[in-house]
């Protein structure tokens, strides 16, 4: 039985890492209800104001001397279960609904289209609550079975953009465009790491730990002041539905082109730069440690301070697509996109600087100290195939469907329940309705079937999704 408990602890400890996102890795499977309903393809036709996230050049396909105002709401609905099958332990994430609004205004004057838009780039989270059996215990630094904190285990990430696009109709067939984007990111993280896993990081296994806090902890262990470390806990979180506790801001940009080969066929291409976001910073963060001290037994030392998530960026994206009007009523679209995850998701880096004055006397020895924790991630680059169609059932009603297929970018070696961005296939459908000459609504829904992955320690994650979006546009 003790051997089985240790196997369980090793499996659970291997799960501890960072935050969770979806659905093409961290990217949403589509932007705007129209494009999302058609598998996320949006490179080569007018996708509405959401073109600013798909291919800004297609904004030039608007009717001249018109303005288009848009409102939208997007729901991301993950269904995640994390388990250790050999132990019969399973926990569902309570993070099942995340909402992302959008607003935009575009104007085409002659051959020039310009405007502004605010959209969510992506985001999700996991919430395993407090007292979860999956996170109930682990191995201390010395290999003894010990309980973890029993507190809330959760993660949440949100990334959004304020975009200023400009598109130009260079010829009747060729349009070019681009945008300058103000990008923000927010993150919450409440995570336990057992002593064995923390010691492994200090030894260079799966990452690294350095800094004066790590040096001081090692000295306390060497001197016998601390005889064992049971667990360490990272905690920075707020109750906001808009932004996480740790926040960063920066810039990004896009370039695009669309060419109408003939009346029925158009092709488009776009490039999104890698972002340049500042470190995500949170004050009032804490790192707590459960340690064994001679004459005092098990003692929890809470250290308050400031945390920074270093080098968190959105990857460069590039792609090409086509739109073919097969009949007067049937439009077929398809894209191929590439996401350069390997350049931005190689490691997860956390820097913590303890406050100069600590409220808890036990943490006084760490006042002003710093800690750098790096967790290996090694994401793979991802190629995404999107295919969709639209059928104009009536002059007012358009029916849409599509599929979005990509490989899982997360290596099994580094899989964990706080970061299960493993979804591969999306089946999409939706409709658009012309309320009047000026007003339209569009709806999309996405079903992402179950995907399961297992890390080398035997920890298993199952992830599926049901997502939807609703857009309204007014042309004047």
Q: In a 10 Å sphere around its CB, with 0-12 CB exposed, 13-18 middle and 19+ buried, how is residue 53 labelled?
A: buried
Query: What's the CA angle centered on 22, arms 19 and 26, to 5 degrees?
Result: 80
Range of the domain at 107: 2-475
pLDDT band with cut points at 50, 70 and 90 for residue 10: very low
Cβ distance 351 to 299 under 8 Å? no
Q: What is the pLDDT of residue 7?
A: 42
Q: Which domain CATH number covers 78?
A: 2.40.160.60
Give the chain's mean pLDDT.
Answer: 91
The neighbour count for residue 226, using CB atoms within 10 Å, is: 21
Q: pLDDT tens, 370-384?
A: 999 999 999 999 999
Please count the structural domains in the chain.
1
Q: pLDDT tens, 161-220?
A: 999 999 999 999 999 999 999 999 999 999 999 999 888 888 888 899 999 999 999 999
Distance CA 224, CA 110 (A): 77
Q: pLDDT tens, 73-89?
A: 999 999 999 988 888 88
pLDDT band with cut points at 50, 70 and 90 for residue 420: confident
pLDDT band with cut points at 50, 70 and 90 for residue 463: very high
Q: What counts of helices (H) and strands (E) characterise the chain?
A: 5, 25
Within its chain, how far is the Cα of 374 from the centroid?
19
pLDDT band with cut points at 50, 70 and 90 for residue 5: very low
Nearest residue to 15 (alpha-carbon basis) of 134, 131, 123: 134
Cβ distance 24 to 407 under 8 Å? no
Task: Name the least confident of 158-162, 239-243, 405-409.
Answer: 239-243
pLDDT band with cut points at 50, 70 and 90 for residue 22: low
Q: What is the pLDDT of residue 95?
A: 85
pLDDT of 418 higher than 80: no
pLDDT band with cut points at 50, 70 and 90 for residue 15: very low
pLDDT of 20 higher than 60: no
Q: What is the pLDDT of residue 2?
A: 46
Distance CA 35, CA 32 (A): 6
Q: What is the pLDDT of residue 459?
A: 85
Sort strands 174-194 and 370-376 into parallel, antiparallel or unpaired.
Answer: unpaired
Task: Name the least confident of 8-17, 31-40, 202-211.
Answer: 8-17
């Amino acid at each position: 039985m003790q051997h089985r408990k240790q196997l369980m602890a090793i499996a659970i400890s291997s799960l501890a890492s960072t935050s969770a996102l979806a659905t093409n890795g961290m990217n949403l499977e589509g932007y705007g209800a129209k494009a999302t309903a058609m598998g996320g393809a949006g490179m080569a036709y007018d996708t509405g104001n959401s073109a600013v996230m798909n291919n800004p050049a297609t904004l030039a396909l608007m009717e001249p001397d018109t303005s288009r105002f848009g409102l939208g709401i997007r729901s991301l609905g993950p269904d995640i279960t994390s388990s250790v099958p050999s132990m019969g332990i399973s926990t569902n994430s309570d993070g099942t609904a995340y909402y992302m609004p959008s607003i935009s205004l575009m104007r085409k004057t002659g051959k020039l289209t310009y405007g502004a838009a605010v959209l969510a780039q992506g985001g999700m989270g996991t919430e395993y609550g407090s007292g979860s059996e999956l996170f109930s215990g682990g191995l201390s630094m010395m290999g003894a079975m010990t309980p973890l904190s029993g507190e809330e285990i959760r993660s949440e990430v949100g990334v959004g953009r304020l975009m200023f696009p400009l598109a130009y109709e260079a010829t009747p067939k060729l349009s070019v465009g681009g945008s300058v984007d103000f990008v923000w990111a927010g993150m919450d993280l409440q995570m336990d790491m057992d002593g064995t896993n923390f010691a492994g990081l200090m030894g260079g296994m799966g990452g690294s730990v350095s800094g004066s806090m790590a040096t001081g902890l090692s000295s306390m262990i060497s001197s016998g002041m601390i005889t064992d470390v049971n667990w360490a806990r990272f905690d920075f979180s707020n109750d906001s539905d808009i932004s996480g506790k740790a926040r960063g801001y920066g810039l990004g940009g896009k370039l695009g082109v669309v060419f109408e080969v003939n009346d029925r066929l158009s092709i488009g291409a776009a490039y999104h730069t890698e972002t340049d976001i500042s470190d995500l910073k949170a004050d009032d963060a804490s790192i707590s440690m459960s340690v064994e001290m001679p004459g005092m037994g098990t003692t929890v030392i809470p250290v308050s301070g400031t945390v920074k998530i270093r080098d968190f960026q959105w990857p460069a994206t590039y792609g090409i697509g086509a739109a073919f009007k097969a009949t007067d009523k049937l439009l077929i679209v398809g894209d191929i996109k590439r996401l350069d995850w390997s350049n931005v998701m190689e490691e997860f880096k956390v820097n913590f600087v303890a406050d100069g004055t600590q409220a808890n006397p036990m943490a006084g020895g760490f006042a002003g100290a710093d800690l750098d924790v790096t967790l290996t991630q090694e994401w793979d680059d991802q190629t995404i195939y999107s295919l969709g169609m639209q059928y104009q059932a009536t002059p007012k009603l358009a029916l849409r469907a599509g599929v979005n297929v990509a490989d899982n970018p997360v290596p099994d070696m580094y899989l964990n329940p706080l970061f299960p961005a493993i979804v591969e296939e999306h089946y999409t459908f939706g409709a658009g309705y012309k309320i009047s000459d000026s007003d339209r609504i569009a709806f999309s829904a996405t079903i992402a079937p179950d995907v399961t992955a297992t890390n080398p320690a035997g920890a298993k994650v199952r992830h599926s999704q049901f997502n939807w979006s609703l857009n309204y546009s007014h042309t004047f």
